[in-house]
Every structure is written in C-alpha cells, then in structure tokens.
Amino acid sequence: MQVKNPVQGAMTALVTPFKNNKLDLESYERLIERQFRYGIDAIVPVGTTGESATLSHSEHRECIEVAVSVCKEQRKKGSCVKVLAGAGSNSTQEAIELARFAQDCGADAILCVTPYYNKPTQEGLFQHYKAVANAVEIPLMLYNVPSRTGVSLEVETILRLFNEVSNIYGVKEACGSIERVVSLNTHAKDLVLVSGEDAINYPILSCGGVGVISVTSNLLPDKIAQLTHSLLESKEHDTSRLLNNELYAINKALFIESNPIPIKAAMYLSGLLHTLEYRLPLLAPSKESLASLQQILNQYEVMK
C-alpha cells in the first residue's frame, strides 16, 4: 500500500547541541527554525548525526518534542514542513517504545536504523522492522548504513518489508551503491528512495530517488534544498548536478573524522553553534582537521 503524502524531499539529519554536557534546547530550536527558513522540507532529529547513541531516553524524547513543537509553529504560518523522528535501537523493544513516543508526540513518520552491534540475520531484520512498524500507525522509513551498524539490509529484505508491511514506505540508503538504488527503483516503483550520502545526492536523485537526508544541510540548507528541488520539482538536472559538484569539497570534508565530529566543528567555526561539545567517546576534531575544515569553509557562504 502506498503511503499518502510521505515524508520526502530535502531533509536534514540534525545535530544535537550541548552546553555544559546538557541538551542546549534553545540552540536546538533556533537551528531547526533556520532549516525551515532556508527551504528544508523535513527535519530528522536524533539520528546518527544527532548523537542518539549517547543520549539518554529522556533526552531523546526531549529532542523529538522540540522538533515537533517548532514544526507545528511553522505550520501555523502556512508551511508544510514535517518531522521524521529517529527511533532506532539494537533492541527491538526500545525501538518500539521510541516509535510510539514519536507517534504520540506528533511526528509525521519515523526513521529506524538497522540494529547495530548484534548483527542480526536478514530474517531477524525483517522481524525487527515488522514489529516496530506494527506497533505504530505512522509511516516508517528504513535506514541502511552498514558502515556504522555492521549489518546490511539487503535488497530482497527491503522489498519484502515494503510489500508485506503497509506503513513501511521508504528507505534511506547510505551504503554508497547506486546499483542498489537502481535495483530497488526497478522492483518497487512506489518505494520512497532517499539519499543518505551527500556526495552522491544528485546521482541518487537522478536514478529514482525522491529525497535526501543530509548532514551538509545543517551548514548549507539553502544549497541542499536547491539541489533537491531543482531536480524533483523543475527537472533541472544541470542545476542539481552543478550544485552537487559545488558541494563536493565540503561533503567530503565533513567526513574527515567520524560523523558528527566535523559537522559540529564546521557549524561552530561558522558561528551556528555557540559551544563545541560532544558526548564521549566522541571528541573534538584534531587541530589539523579544524584547519582543513576552516580552509574549505572559506569557499562557501554560510547563511545565518
């Protein structure tokens, strides 16, 4: 069954700002408002980029609540912005609890990463996602990022989930394979395919993708929104391709150390974050990385 009005388009995998090792919710709200101001269609709180693995459950819920609250205020002004809430865990029961909270809070859909560390079989992945999706009524987007989780959600499993579970509507692909995108688009034309790797946003969009979940858009939401919308809405392939090329240097630089270390540093250097804080075991980037980031940032205009 095709989900009506699915969450797609230009989306941002939000960073989570800290101040004195606590959530900086005032800055978080400001950052979300900035995303919508520069054309982003949906925000994705508490995903990998949001350091969800080191947040407490109460902090995770707070981030979703703030994101939904800001989104509701924007809708009152006539905006169509949405929230795709991170609700993944390597424990199925924990993922279910987070998904139910996101639904009760008012999120439009949930993004559920493959369980990490315990490396389930494909049947285990199928049963995990089926259980989470069946626990809620809102749409669920699968998230495949084997480099971070140690397990890949295979094409056959994605298609099985899409065909058998009514509210599983799409997948965020972050495995770097264009062939997978083509295969999925060939076998399930209504499956919502979303890029999870900024360096190949344009190739994925041009091969059937209908959105991006971007790290770079924390820094340059205007550019990512234009790249996405110029192709999806106006079919301006040249504009989208040139923007993808323009962003290549920063897209690569934002992964010189583990995400979200570089993106938070780049935002700090650009004045978007007032403090540069992470949760252990993540640390601030090296002096060399900071110098490299600053040099590349000089090539771009970061809108405040």
> What is the set of active-site residues?
143, 172
Q: Look at residues 114, 56, 60, 116 and name the one whose alpha carbon lies nearest to residue 85.
A: 60
CB atoms inside a 10 Å sphere around CB 235? 9
Helix residue ranges per DSSP H, 87-154: 92-105, 122-134, 146-149
Please give the span between the terminal C-alpha atoms of the chain, in angstroms, as a whole number: 41
Instruction: Kindly report the length of the chain.
Output: 304
List the structure tokens of 222.
Answer: 């205007």
Long-range CB contacts for residues 21-25, cutoff 8 Å, separation at least 24: 21/277, 21/279, 23/59, 23/62, 23/63, 24/274, 24/275, 25/62, 25/66
